[in-house]
Structure 1
């Protein structure tokens, strides 16, 4: 897992991390206002092309949902896991689970609890203390302190898309081997969703992001994910969904109706298939994201997945500037992205047996 980073590599990686997190949040925000609308209603309310810009959701334009909230806490958990390795305690699923419990507190509490010394900076962001249509399985899976595992998962019958929409950050662990990225995403998905399709789709998405983050073409990245899936029991639904996404690319010009042929995105494998398909056929970021949200289904989650993929593929500067400017929480998302990139590329300069940055450990307490 140790990697030597040159300056140009660090800059490219930071741009991809920023692109991944911002792109996912933009897709999330584009779909937030139409998440529960049918395609017929979307076209009736917004014109034949559907939405072409942010529409109001949760009292504002550019509002993010639980998809981006949970993605941010995934990132924070991974940063803490790498810091905690200094103490000899190396179990990333535990650190991610603790981060998810901090997210769950934002859905129940009025605001940050300043008495919690190990909360870290992200849990003190007051704007995150807002319910944005969180999934029932995510809330119930994190309703107590017990961590779901593959041997004893939470919500064993659930395969909702709440696993996939938060799992892009695992793919940004570019110094890891693909099978380890897959395994970590799967283990963390089982903390809320115990159906094989629910957690295997999360692992597949992480592997796709992982390959694209290192410069692989998206179609080759999907083939890598299919190879990883084939070794796991219960992979059939996820494998079939990805194969249908690849097949849809060859069926003609992309349309909303073709998107809907892949499902509605409420389940993990359908959301993954739609997000992957829209990223594969995208003429540019704007085209791909609008295709990913204008359908009768879970528009914010499919938009988020597509945005993660297009953002990590092309980097932050490919994102439409007007959408970046109006995005809720942009400053915090960028701050988190830069912290993650710095930890992954320069972590040994921030903490270790020799000396540690007190400011860094205050941001990410390793207790």
Structure 2
């Protein structure tokens, strides 16, 4: 399977891939939604508000249970950009970072506009989803990085001092490019991260997270996927803080029962690499998806980002059916998430039939315009 349309996918392969794509996107969203009510709270405040065990179920945020933050919104636009890049490839215009940047600019428009502009057919269907026009406390680096048309690049990154986890938390979909070589997955995630988060560790964290998801989506174990990510990191300049954080997470797994204090220790200052380290730890030590996600959000750090990263790992590892049905039932935007997940799986497995040399599906090109 090379992900470029030349592979032959069997029915079982297709079903497994679709389950992992759905699991990844739903996992990101449900982890994000679980952590959303805890923004800015200390562990003591969490326990005071939700009991001795902390938050154990979805709770209201932004006026409803199951509400997602900007992290899920951006993850959806990452998927949209990846599909659009594949569709545009037929035209000979093949530069995925540009297509992702255009997708992120479409997200930025949702943070400024009252609602979708039906006249802009070139925006595709996702940008016409009205529920995405809710502003959910986007990080300043995102608004600054996408505040004009200039695209951040490796040579001229946006916000070069920004170490936060937001770029990593939108990067799970890169890992679903299962036909790509891991180093290319990492490179694309890094090039797209610097469009808003130019700090080397933040960008490399996005890259290694995508590689770990890639390993899981290809059927690897979580420990094996992390080891592969570490091997790829080792050749990258500036990798040491990210590598050290991941190694620390792997070591923490062997140090007794998991506790919120251990998660807080890994999260540390809330930098991208600390949040990823905590997510890897929670995914490794969680008895099941529910336990891993609860562990990921009950701390004083960026709970939504830790939950989103953990959910992406667990969803890619186990597939859609392992996620708690009661949480999915209340999840904001679930129909959109499923529709986009299935479109992505279809594009990656049947792309040539939708827009190949033999002809194009007008319906598909209306959803994902080449313009």
TM-score where L is the length of structure 1: 0.99
Aligned twin of 1:196: 200
Aligned twin of 2:93: 89
Contact between 1:265 and 1:272, CA under 8 Å: does it hold in 2?
A: no
Matches within 5 A, 1:240-319: 240-264=244-268, 266-319=270-323
The correspondence for 1:35, drawn from 35, 39, 42, is: 39
Structure 1: runs of 5 or more not aligned: none
Report Cα offsets for 1:116-166 as digits up to 9, x if no partner: 120100000000001111111111000000100001110111111011100
Q: CA distance change for structure 1 residues 260 and 179 in 2, over 3 Å: closer, same or farther?
A: same
**Following TM superposition, by how much is the alpha carbon of 1:3 offset from its aligned partner in structure 2, in angstroms?**
2.6
What is the SS of the residue equivalent to 2:349? Answer: helix
Are 1:124 and 2:124 an aligned pair? no
Matches within 5 A, 1:83-232: 83-232=87-236
The correspondence for 2:363, drawn from 348, 356, 359, is: 359
CA distance in 2, matches of 1:85, 1:274: 37
**Following TM superposition, by how much is the alpha carbon of 1:266 offset from its aligned partner in structure 2, in angstroms?**
2.7
What is the SS of the residue equivalent to 2:121? Answer: coil
CA distance in 1, matches of 2:17, 2:259: 32
**Following TM superposition, by how much is the alpha carbon of 1:325 offset from its aligned partner in structure 2, in angstroms?**
0.4
CA distance in 2, matches of 1:4, 1:205: 27
**Following TM superposition, by how much is the alpha carbon of 1:52 offset from its aligned partner in structure 2, in angstroms?**
0.7
TM-score where L is the length of structure 2: 0.98
Contact between 1:265 and 1:298, CA under 8 Å: does it hold in 2?
A: no
Aligned twin of 2:61: 57
CA distance in 1, matches of 2:228, 2:137: 33
**Following TM superposition, by how much is the alpha carbon of 1:4 offset from its aligned partner in structure 2, in angstroms?**
2.1
Report Cα offsets for 1:223-282 as digits up to 9, x if no partner: 111111111111111111101110110101111111111124631101111111100111
What is the SS of the residue equivalent to 1:40? Answer: helix
Name the count of aligned residue pairs: 367
CA RMSD between the two structures: 0.8
Structure 2: runs of 5 or more not aligned: none
The correspondence for 2:21, drawn from 14, 17, 27, is: 17
Q: CA distance change for structure 1 residues 27 and 265 in 2, over 3 Å: closer, same or farther?
A: farther
Report Cα offsets for 1:271-324 as digits up to 9, x if no partner: 111111100111110000000000011000000000000011111111111001
Report Cα offsets for 1:13-69 as digits up to 9, x if no partner: 000000000011000000000021000100111111100111110000000000100
